[in-house]
Chains A and B, each alone.
Chain A
């Protein structure tokens, strides 16, 4: 078990800088999810931990050990690949055993370890089959077993669920979380799917263009986004943003405020303006009825906004007011940073123009 520390890590491919300067500590025993849009450098980060890529500058520590010059096999890191990367010419047993054999683990011990691991992931009946005879979920388990059997300090997973169908993915998600709880090893998990990130991680690293946007537990990320990017990345539909220029009567203590934001699920649809701090007339453009929740697309003076309701009847009227409580409003500065919502304002924001 070990923590992972990045110290001024920079990674370039030729002329392109993928990661300009990364500093982070992944806690020992945590289930850390690295998430971000494609091309944000999340896989590169993972591969640098594994040693499959070498950083251009900076230091990476696993535990207390500086691993800059340590080869992948000696870092005591196990990896589960997106397409599993099982050795097609070996049986399931051969796949699991390969790393142990290379480590010169004696045969009796190997046998014991394989049986143990196969039992945990439920592969015992398939040990003598070749991977191509197995289903996607079973292959996934072989990949997990192969990673587990080495008893690594760090377990890294590169979008391991993306090749599975929706149902199996859901099931594997909870199995992985349970596995993490059982092993207690540090897990580093890469995904582009915010649902996976939010549901599995106890710590999320949100990356954009190689920079850490925010590193926090899932609910902190949702409740206290540090910046516009985090606010918009986490949550479906994304947070509504309204430029202050479009709010005629808005007054702020903080001069630098450029935009205000609120989550669609905090927006209320009413037939009258109400006394809320933010209130604006709107027209419903579209309704997505998903069952327990309904997503409305609204046209307002401030552009298109989303509202989301739970377990409420469908709103039929076309002309409405959208309003948000004061404490549910986020304020963003010009540079995109979020000012904590509890910063006080002199005048409440009220917009009461007719459409």
Chain B
């Protein structure tokens, strides 16, 4: 009796966590993959097996290809610009005075505001007729923009909002990285007649590169899943110009009730994110560990 109990006790202990994990992570993913090979409209009792039809359908669907392209453009610009700006901002405001403390707080504040509120706010700001942005452009005699209303600029407007939202958090993490560099290194560099640029390139940058790498991967994963701002601000329009992968999945799954088809797009997203995650863990395990 006791032998039996001893043998199974560890499994009983981890069971709650495993059950939750299987039920809410493994099962949905497995079910999504299962559905991606079927045709199903949510209601009919039968799921019809279609093999790879959904995937070949995706590859021929211009709307899907456009959403994929948009997702890559969005990710490239939002992650790239956020990282570079956050780095510059961090280098600038990483000073121990009260003023810079205030700036750090101010830059971080968008991070704690709900994304829905941010989307609404920027919709007002970007209104082509009455928005503050166009008013500002006019004030300085600059050409006005259609912002969200034009297929040319809509995606870039969404990118702008994404950068605004995430820059504070990124800056804060980079500042933490900068502060972990021992100040003696800069003194040694000063005695070595190192210019400010050399000190940055040879000391600061290599020392914070693990931090930057972490941020870039996290931002990439986040950007691939962009949804809220698009749903609220443009619903993928105008003319599919802001349709992204997750929004595409949402539309086909829950608007057009083509669940099998949407699932196959979900599988594509899963593959992209898996590659990024594996890349992250692979490179992190190989990165140099400093003392």
Residues of B within 8 A of A150 (CB): 192
In the docked arrangement, what's the CA distance between A328 and B203, Å? Answer: 57
- Does B193 count as interface, using CB distance less than 8 angstroms? yes
Answer whether residue A63 sits at the interface, using C-beta atoms and an 8 A cutoff: no
Q: Are B182 and A102 within 8 A (Cβ)? A: no
Contact residues of B between 173 and 198, Cβ < 8 Å to A: 182, 184-185, 187-195, 198
Count of A residues near B, CB < 8 Å?
A: 27
CB distance from B32 to the nearest CB of A (A): 43
Least distance between A44 CB and chain B CB atoms (Å): 13
B181 and chain A: residue at smallest CB distance? A88
Contact A102 B194 (CB under 8 A): yes
User: Interface readout for B256-291 with A: 1 if CB under 8 Å, 0 if not?
Assistant: 000000000000000000000000000000001111
CA distance A182 to B184 in the complex (A): 28
Which of A16-24, A68-76, A117-125 contacts its partner?
A68-76
Question: Across the interface, do B207 and A89 meet the contact criterion of CB distance under 8 Å?
Answer: yes
> Whole-angstrom distance between the alpha carbons of A89 and B290 in the complex?
8
Q: Are B192 and A71 in contact (CB under 8 A)?
A: no
CA separation between A216 and B195, bound complex, in Å? 39
**Bound state CA distance, A18 and B42, in angstroms?**
78
Whether the pair B191, A78 counts as a contact (CB closer than 8 A) is yes
CB distance from B178 to the nearest CB of A (A): 15
Whole-angstrom CA separation of A103 from B198 in the bound complex: 12
Interface string of A179-210 (1 = CB under 8 A from B): 00000000000000000000000000000000
B206 at the interface (CB under 8 A from A): yes
**Does A52 sit at the interface, judged by CB under 8 A?**
yes
Query: Once the chains bind, are B195 and A85 in contact (CB under 8 Å)?
Result: no
A88 x B190 contact (CB < 8 A): no
Could you say which residues of chain B place their CB within 8 Å of the CB of A50? 187, 191
**Contacting pair A83 B190 (CB below 8 A):** no
Is A81 within 8 A of B193, CB to CB? no
Query: Contact: B206 with A89, CB < 8 Å?
Result: yes
The distance from the CB of B198 to the nearest CB of chain A, in whole angstroms, is 6
B188 touching A73, Cβ below 8 Å: no
Interfacial chain B residues near A130, Cβ < 8 Å: 288
Q: Does B95 contact A (CB under 8 A)?
A: no
Task: Please name all residues of chain B whose beta carbon is closer than 8 Å to the beta carbon of A146 when the two chains form the complex.
Answer: 188, 192
Q: Is A48 an interface residue (CB 8 A)?
A: no
Contact A73-B198, Cβ < 8 Å, known A88-B290, A89-B288: no
Known: A52-B187, A98-B202. A85 touches B182 (CB 8 A): yes
In the complex the two chains form, is A102's CB within 8 Å of B198's CB? yes
CB distance from A81 to the nearest CB of B (A): 5
Distance in Å from the Cβ of B188 to the closest Cβ of chain A?
A: 4
Which residues from chain A contact B289 at a C-beta distance below 8 Å? 132
- Residue ID in chain A nearest B194 by CB atoms: A102
Which A residues touch B198, using CB under 8 A?
102
Q: Which residue of B lies closest to A82 (CB)?
A: B184
B192, B195, B202, B288 — most chain A CB neighbours (10 Å):
B192
| Contact between A99 and B192, CB atoms less than 8 A apart | yes
Contact present for B203 and A85 (CB under 8 Å): no
Smallest CB separation, B121 vs chain A (Å)? 42
**Residues A83 and B184 in contact, CB atoms below 8 Å apart:** yes
| Min CB gap B47→A, angstroms | 55
Q: Among B190, B195, B206, B291, point to the contact of A132 (Cβ < 8 A).
A: B291
Q: Which of A70-107 contact B (CB under 8 A)?
A: 71-74, 77-79, 81, 83, 85-90, 98-99, 102-103
Report Cα–Cα, A103/B189, bound state, in Å: 12
Across the two chains, which residue of chain A brings its CB closest to B188?
A85
Do B188 and A87 have beta carbons less than 8 Å apart?
yes
A102 touches B192 (CB 8 A): yes
Residues of B within 8 A of A79 (CB): 187-188, 191
Closest Cβ–Cβ distance, residue B180 to chain A (whole Å): 11
Contact A87 B203 (CB under 8 A): yes
A81-B184, A132-B290 given as contacts; is B202 within 8 A of A87 (CB)? yes
Q: How far is the CB of A101 from chain B (nearest CB, A)?
A: 8
Alpha-carbon gap, A51 to B184, bound state (A) = 13
How far, in Å, is B246 (CB) from chain A's closest CB?
A: 38
A62 to chain B, nearest CB (A): 13
In the complex with contacts A89-B203, A130-B288, A102-B191 CB distance below 8 A: no
Contacts of B206 in A (CB 8 A): 89
Identity of the chain B residue whose Cβ is nearest the Cβ of A50 in the assembled complex: B191
* Also in contact, A73 and B194, with CB within 8 A (given A83-B182, A89-B206): yes
Query: Smallest Cβ distance from A76 to chain B, in angstroms?
Result: 10
Contact A74 B193 (CB under 8 A): yes
Report Cα–Cα, A132/B290, bound state, in Å.
Answer: 7
Q: Assess the B194–A85 pair: CB atoms within 8 A.
A: no
Name, among B190, B193, B202, B207, the residue most crowded by chain A CB atoms within 10 Å (CB to CB): B193
**B193 touches which one: A73, A85, A131 (CB < 8 A)?**
A73
Q: Shortest distance in angstroms between B270's beta carbon and chain A's nearest beta carbon?
A: 36
Q: Which 4 A-B pairs have the closest CB atoms?
A: A73-B193, A99-B192, A89-B206, A85-B184
Question: Hey, which bits of chain B sit against chain A, CB under 8 A?
Answer: 182, 184-185, 187-195, 198, 202-203, 206-207, 288-291
Further pairs besides A83-B182, A88-B290: 11, Cβ < 8 Å: A52-B187, A71-B190, A72-B187, A73-B190, A73-B191, A73-B194, A83-B184, A85-B185, A89-B206, A98-B194, A102-B193
